[in-house]
Amino acid sequence: MSSKILDDMSDVMWRRHYSIRTERSYCAWVKRFVLHFNMKSRDDLTEGEKKIETYLTFLARDRNVAPSTQNQALNALVFLYKHVLKQPLNEKINAERAATKIKIPVVLTRDETKRIIGAMTGIHQLVVKLLYGSGLRIIECLRLRVHDIDFDMKFWGTSLFINLFINVEAHRN
């Protein structure tokens, strides 16, 4: 049963131009949801609000997930019911919310950053310099092509960008 639903979910997400990562994530949540309730057919997906509420409470209590993880599961399941199963969710979902965990950000000093980047070589160093210097996400940096970079920009004056320019030029040839 879950295979057909996952195929339908992927199809709907593809037609709505969702990213492949969102599609994979949502399908994984739907699969976990179906397995959690041991569902065998689409008929088992009735009473969506109640099942979603129970599942989200399970995630918060027993799995100790982060609030953002619980929200992602909620969004995936709401998408399933609204867009794939065409079953509107009319009741409010009052699941127990996951506890917010306090995170203290880890910030490296400039010296620590220089040492880490200096310990790397080749393409790995180039990727890290691009990530650090430009604020790109990892996937954006890995998909970056040389012709995507404007070498004529005027702000290459900082030492980081001069080093980046030299490294990119070296990999370009």
Which pLDDT value is given to residue 155? 54
Which pLDDT value is given to residue 2? 66
Torsion over CA: 92, 95, 100, 101 (sign): negative
Which pLDDT value is given to residue 67? 93
DSSP state of 168: H
Which pLDDT value is given to residue 151? 64
Which pLDDT value is given to residue 15? 95
Q: Is 157 helix (H, G, I), strand (E, B) or coil?
A: coil
CATH homologous superfamily, domain 2-84: Tyrosine recombinase, N-terminal domain (1.10.150.130)
Q: Where are the domains of the chain?
A: 2-84, 110-172
User: pLDDT of the chain along its 173 residues, tens only?
Assistant: 568 899 999 999 999 999 999 999 999 999 999 999 998 888 888 888 899 999 999 999 999 999 999 999 999 999 999 999 998 888 888 888 988 878 787 888 889 988 999 999 888 888 888 888 778 888 888 887 777 766 666 554 555 555 665 666 666 65
